[in-house]
Amino acid sequence: MPPVDPADIARDFARDGFVSPLEILSVEEAATHRRRMEEAEAKFGALHYEYKVHTILRSPYELAVHPRVLDAVEHMIGPDILLYSAGYIVKEPYSEGHVSWHQDLTYWGFSGDQEVALWLALSPATAESGCMRMLPGSHRRGRLHHDVTNDPENILYQGQTVADVNEDKAVLCPLQPGQASFHHGWTLHASMPNRSADRRIGLNVQYIAPAMRQTKHDQDTALLVRGEDHYGHFGKDEPPAEDLAPAALARRAKLAAVMQATQSRG
């Protein structure tokens, strides 16, 4: 895979609030991870929008700590990196599910914005299948007002939506399997329904700097994946030794309930 200049990553992230695309896996490697994800679905059930799956499945953990991923993240938020959560976002073929314009950090309760999200494609993410759209430079505006909606086709947990977005300035971010995009927690982004005949599958991972802390409660957890944590603001997640171990499943269910409650507190 062609090398990427770290200065380009840092520049684009600071200027635009996102970097896309970056080559992470070969097409063949992406296909293997898709197969592993779908095999896990057959045992676990739907994995769409399940929090912290990197604590119960080896494949998302391996992807979340991939050296090419962490190298990119380091150029965005620094050398000390906590893995906060990983989960799959899946749009089924010909489905109406969409994502409204929003900012990731709105309801997470963090004390700062040293956060970046990875979106790694395991199937084609195209205009037809509903790839992400980003609004360049929107991260510099800070937190914007979101309306909570009850749109049943909105994939977001609370249907949170920023109104009056100038979509003429939006940038489409198509990805082929194995490619990734990275975006800042205040970057406005959205996506349309999947009009294709294939599932649109992406692994979504959030990384934060250890200086961040949870302001809503003291139950949050994370996993140090590079550098050092000099703060200790988070409890410690555990990487999975195997897929779907009973103890790990029970532990993840509690962690997921905490994350869902956190985002419900406004």
Whole-angstrom distance, CA of residue 169 vs CA of residue 166: 6
What range defines the domain where residue 55 resides?
6-264
- Residue with tokens 């970057």, as numbered in its chain: 187
Domain count, the chain: 1
pLDDT of residue 144: 75
- What are the pLDDT digits (tens) for 40-59? 999 999 999 999 999 999 99
For residue 216, tell me if it sits in a domain.
yes
pLDDT of residue 113: 96
* Three-state secondary structure call for residue 244: coil
For residue 146, tell me if it sits in a domain.
yes
Whole-angstrom distance, CA of residue 253 vs CA of residue 55: 10
Whole-angstrom distance, CA of residue 36 vs CA of residue 59: 7
* Three-state secondary structure call for residue 16: helix
pLDDT of residue 32: 98
For residue 112, tell me if it sits in a domain.
yes
- β-strand partners of 107: none
The pLDDT averaged over each successive group of 10 residues in the chain (266 residues) is 76 96 97 98 96 98 98 97 97 88 90 97 97 94 78 70 84 97 95 94 98 96 98 98 98 94 74
pLDDT of residue 157: 62
Whole-angstrom distance, CA of residue 266 vs CA of residue 264: 6
- The closest of 70, 38, 26, 65 to 182, measured between CA atoms, is 70
* Three-state secondary structure call for residue 134: strand
Which residues fall within 8 angstroms of residue 224, CB to CB, at 6 or more apart?
80, 81, 82, 83, 210, 236
pLDDT of residue 143: 85
Residue 191's CATH number:
2.60.120.620
For residue 123, tell me if it sits in a domain.
yes
CB 212 within 8 A of CB 70: no
Angle between helices 6-16 and 67-77 (to 10 degrees): 50
**Predicted model pTM:** 0.94
What is the DSSP-derived secondary structure letter of residue 93?
A: T
3-state helix, strand, coil in the chain (%, to 5): 30, 25, 45
Q: Report the DSSP pairing between strands 132-134 and 221-226.
A: unpaired
pLDDT of residue 159: 61
For residue 1, tell me if it sits in a domain.
no
